[in-house]
Amino acid sequence: MTDVPGERLRLVRVLTVGFAVGFLVVRLPHLLNLATYGADRFEPVGVLAPLGQPLDPALWRAVVLGALPVGVAFAAGRAARLTGPAFAAALLVIATYRSSWGHLSHADNLFTLHVGVLAVASALPRRRPADVLRLLSLVTVTTYVVSGIAKLRETGIAWVTGNVLRDQIAYDNVRKAVLGAPSSPLARHVVGHGQLLAVAALVALLVELGAPVALRSARWAGHWALAAWLFHLGVLAVMAITFPYQLSGVAYASMLPLERLSRRAARWRRAPRSSAASS
Amino acid sequence: MARHLVSIAVVGIVAWPTLHVRPRDDFPLSTYPMFTASRGRVASFDVVVGRDGNDRLVRLDPRLIADTDEVMVAAETVTGAIVEGRASRLCEDVAMRVRRPRIVRVEVRTEQYDTIAWLRGHRRPSHVRAWADCRVPR
């Protein structure tokens, strides 16, 4: 019998670590350019908080470029006990350094945490794939709940009226426009619909605070993952803010039956050969 | 039992920043404060703009403002320069990056808008405060 969680964990590792490597490749020019930023803009956070000045440019470039082959090896499962922790540590430094210039990039948190969980799991001599998958899902769910708590803590019940969301949509789009960046063409239509915004604000809060339902069963997980994905699609549509990890769907991979898709794909690949052999 | 303890520990670590009396955002453990601030309709924006030979305003993009393609990094760079008294230096840095022949001057300034009205087409700022003004070198 096939070990379903084991197969799913392998797929989740390929997708999650693959996403992280893809992120490094796509953002490579930006990441390497950080070496040229002036020390006056450096505001170190997280594990880099003790740093008094930016990293040496050569060291920074070595960490970024060195992380790529290590990440590819970890995604492929090669020497995972070594490449897993090495890549997770490098990714943590890279993502933290990227957030150390005055703006915390909240789109990077979840995949950095997921790679960390996968790395720790790969370094353990004995682990149950089902437990690792559950931990990954727990991390996902907790980040959403924390987001929901932040909304209630900062704005209280005013969040549900939709006014906070309306002002936030307007503020964010105007800020982008006056700083010469693309903004959402939908924003000016949306801000005039108070009831729609009140519903959207309530739905966003329900998706975030209701995230633990995803841990109940595969069916609940599928429904919640779809709701969360649509939530991020809405954020992209009206605020032009991208959460690539969530929008790619990889963020929810640990709670979805990927192994079924994998088997279906395998059957589909085999099918033409069978028919060719029989003719 | 061990599985449950590990689960509780993981949830506790991820939720840790929000359990503080005064939550502080960090990375990768965050309070996820995006979209939570009550902005109000009237808001101020720290920007860097260009001026052409006819004194018409030209919006500059994050690449010119802060040598980045990330708008939030550009926004924080401008605000940081203003707050820390480095607006003139930022102005000169941007002027060095501007290679468009029609832009002759650069300004670091704070613009105030009714953001809802802005989206409806009323683009004139209700208040402007200039922090620095410099010529584009030729």
| Distance between start and end Cα atoms, chain A | 32
List pLDDT tens digits, range B79-91.
Answer: 999 999 999 999 9
The yes-or-no verdict on residue A80 having pLDDT over 90 is yes
> What are the distances in angstroms from CA A58 to CA A23, A35, A92?
21, 8, 18
Domain boundaries, chain A: 1-127, 143-253
| Other Cβ atoms closer than 10 A to B27 | 25
Q: Which residues of chain B have pLDDT under 50?
A: none
Per-residue pLDDT, averaged over A256-276, amounts to 76
- DSSP code, position A106: T
**With bands split at pLDDT 50, 70 and 90, how would you rate the model's confidence at A3?**
low
Of the residues B1, B26, B34, the best mutation for testing chain A's interface (the one with the most A CB atoms within 10 Å of its CB) is B34
Contact A102 B36 (CB under 8 A): no
Phi-psi region of A85 (alpha: psi -120 to 50; beta: other; left: phi over 0): alpha
B chain contacts of residue A116, beta-carbon cutoff 8 Å: 28
Question: Percent of chain A at pLDDT above 90?
Answer: 81
The mean predicted confidence, pLDDT, of chain B is 92
pTM: predicted TM-score of the whole model, two decimal places: 0.91
Nearest CB among A165, A170, A181 relative to B116 is that of A170
Cα A251 from Cα A217, distance rounded (Å): 17
The mean predicted confidence, pLDDT, of chain A is 92
List pLDDT tens digits, range A16-67.
Answer: 999 999 999 999 999 999 999 889 889 999 999 999 999 999 999 999 999 9
- Cβ atoms of residues A208 and A147 within 8 Å: yes
List pLDDT tens digits, range A131-183.
Answer: 999 999 999 999 999 999 999 988 888 888 999 999 999 999 999 999 999 99
Cα A197 from Cα A191, distance rounded (Å): 8
Nearest CB among A40, A142, A147 relative to B11 is that of A142
Phi/psi of residue B41, nearest 5 degrees: -80, -30
Structure tokens at A126: 């004995």
pLDDT of residue B90: 95
Structure tokens at A221: 């997980």
- DSSP code, position A39: G
Sign of the Cα pseudo-torsion (A181, A184, A185, A188, in order): negative
ipTM of the complex: 0.92
